[in-house]
Chain A
Amino acid sequence: MKSLEELKAIREKTLAGIQLRKEDGADNVRVVVGMATCGIAAGARPVLGAFVDEIGKRGLSHVSVTQTGCIGVCRLEPVVEVYVPGEEKVTYVKMTPEMVQRIVAEHLVNQQIVSEYTIGAAE
């Protein structure tokens, strides 16, 4: 260890990985994937995996990915909900791993909702 900068670099690299254990998660963005039987059958597992992957690659430590039970619109599964603090929740439907990259890039990074994937567009 030669300098404070070196220490800071290790700190930041690791912090991203353990952010989800900090209690002050109130301003975290949450991505919630429906993982009930219907969701899993429709392919929610690879979608969840793709989110974790993509968020990890970009080091988005303020985003947590969790799963939930049946959201109630089984025909539109896999369903993913994105909660940004202070904003209305956005529901994406009929998700595939390929769609994940765009949602992460546009919605989670640039705060632009990908409207054509949302439940509004599907209905």
Chain B
Amino acid sequence: MEIVRSHILVCAGTGCHASNSDEIVEALQKHIETEKMDKEVRVIKTGCFGLCALGPVVVVYPEGAFYSRVTPEDAGEIVREHIVKGRIVTRLLYQETVQEEGVSSLSETPFYKKQFRVALRNCGVIDPENIDEYIAFDGYSALGRALTEQTPQEIIDIISKSGLRGRGGAGFPTGRKWQFAAAAQGDVKYVVCNADEGDPGAFMDRSVLEGDPHSVVEAMTIAGYAIGAHEGYLYVRAEYPIAVKRLEIAIRQAREYGFLGKGIFGTGFDFDLIIRLGAGAFVCGEETALLASIEGRRGEPRPRPPFPAVKGLFAKPTLLNNVETYANIPWILQNGWEEFTKIGTEKSKGTKVFALGGKIHNTGLVEVPMGTTLREVVEEIGGGCPGGKAFKAAQTGGPSGGCIPAEHLDIPIEYETLMSIGSMMGSGGLIVMDEDNCMVDIARYFLDFTVDESCGKCAPCRIGTRRLYQLLEKITGGGGTPEDLDTLEVLCKHISENSLCGLGQTAPNPVLSTLRYFRDEYEAHVRDKKCPARVCKDLLQYKITDACIGCTACARVCPTDAITGKVKELHVIDQAKCIKCGACEEKCKFKAIIKE
């Protein structure tokens, strides 16, 4: 690769891509050509930097200047000022990095300081469509060493000793899983990667595939060698077109370089990868349903055992891991299991990637060592709730997880601790809620999701989740009774004990955890018929206070003519006609309209 004096990295992850990063790349290139600098400066499209809230992101090296919210129109200024004259465009800098003298390193900002990147090590650093850059950052060296110097058992031992656990949700020890698959009898075996990522709001796996697809290709090839498989499948949801495209490019390049195919690294080992697109059903993330879907059957779970390691894809022994789990593998083999065990806590080693979303300043992608507290993630890295609102709860584990209240913010992030407070690690979605969120409504939202996504194979889940949803609708609609809360609990227990797969077994978690920590909110709904967060429409009324000066603006905006009153006189709302759309509240300049 040519040595040039400056690299301009432009994020081309899904988030920044959606806000025109392609046009920025074009504009930058055009201006660089105009300045006749195309031999000195390279523009590179990378994966996600993590600070999605501030996208599109552009980083200029060697200074490491981090520009946020860049538009195609800004490209000219970046080239003319920064690239030509060496004057950093302060107006576009990520404010946290602005210093009196130049810029501070990104890793010193509150957003990055507590992060530690293992799975995301190359995201936003390399060009994901260029295999040479992956190699330059030590890519494929773990595979090379494994094939030429290590036995399959040695690899499995390293993974076991590293303490790595599955990042797809359940946290099963990865080394043990590899050992089972290696021990299984069979002439044909498979390696499968779960890139279904069905959690609403989660995008960790997508970001790895978009920013560093080769790490997964390399890890799956190593896994193939370790368990004795020659074929691997990547199951990716079809809604991830950029990830799929980069994976296709990565697989093609790996074949050209001979990292896939026959006789890899001059050894007798053959391995190849196939991509399968999923239609985006949540249940297809469950391993047995996923395997059925790859086989071309309906994506429905089946009882385990037999586990996939014994009888998986096409009834052959199969190793199935999550994207992020795989992304850790090359790092562990390069740096040694000892290094990996230095990160994290006793039972949860390494790091975890989270997709931060909801009522939080820095929505984006973060990777923290296990054991980091939720408070550090929410307040320091995430920058807290916007608008000075009070934090109410953090939701981890998506539709299978629970809501964690403020009193537990100081617990360390670990598989076991999260379980003990009624949530779970899950795949890494982390949604923050503030005082304006109604917890009963949140539970209703997640149940709405599971009702839609239940495959319907077993009755406890198919019927039970619907009944749960109906009860929650009744409560948020104002028709709930105190007895309903007990019924909820009984029903939850029944569903989690009797469902066939993880979807049904964990579906009650959002209800159980909110009942546990926010029971007062449920009680306010059923006893006082009030929604304390003023979210549930049926439980609140719009009223006009004495602050009304009779300007008539509200009456004019009301779509159902529910507001009456004479000019310069107090107006009133006819509750029978009011549909609670909130238009009047927005229109009133005198804050005379309140909801309670």
* Residues of chain A at the chain B interface (Cβ within 8 Å): 1-4, 7, 10-11, 13-18, 20-21, 23, 25, 28, 32-33, 35-36, 40, 48-49, 51-53, 55-56, 59-61, 64-69
Contact = CB atoms under 8 A, between A and B. Distances in A.
Contacts of A1: 140, 144, 257-259, 264-266
Contacts of A13: 1, 132
Interface in B1-35: 1-7, 9
Contacts, number: 108
Contacts of B148: 3-4
A56 B86 contact: no
A60 to B, nearest CB: 8
B62 interface: yes
Contacts of A11: 135-136, 138, 141
A17 B265 contact: no
Q: Taking each of B1, B2, B138, B140, which has the highest tally of chain A beta carbons within 10 Å of its own beta carbon?
A: B1
Nearest to A63: B3
A4 B3 contact: no
B145 A16 contact: no
Nearest to A5: B144
A15 B39 CA distance: 18
28 contacts: A1-B264, A4-B141, A4-B144, A10-B136, A13-B1, A14-B1, A14-B133, A14-B136, A16-B1, A16-B3, A17-B2, A18-B137, A20-B7, A20-B61, A21-B7, A21-B61, A33-B86, A36-B85, A40-B84, A49-B39, A49-B40, A51-B5, A55-B3, A56-B4, A65-B5, A66-B5, A66-B6, A69-B85
Nearest to B127: A18
Interface string B65-105: 00000000000000000011111000000000000000001
Contact of B4 (A14, A17, A28): A17
Contacts of B6: 20, 66
Contact of A18 (B83, B84, B136): B136
A66 B63 contact: yes
Interface of B: 1-7, 9, 39-40, 61-64, 83-87, 105, 107, 125-126, 132-133, 135-138, 140-141, 144-145, 148, 257-259, 264-266
A16 B259 CA distance: 23
Contacts of A25: 62
Given A17-B1, A17-B2, A21-B125, A68 B86 contact: yes
A72 to B, nearest CB: 14
A69 B89 CA distance: 13
Q: Taking each of B85, B87, B125, which has the highest tally of chain A beta carbons within 10 Å of its own beta carbon?
A: B85
A25 to B, nearest CB: 6
Given A13-B1, A21-B125, A2 B258 contact: yes
A2 B148 CA distance: 10
Contact of A23 (B107, B264, B265): B107
A101 B266 CA distance: 42
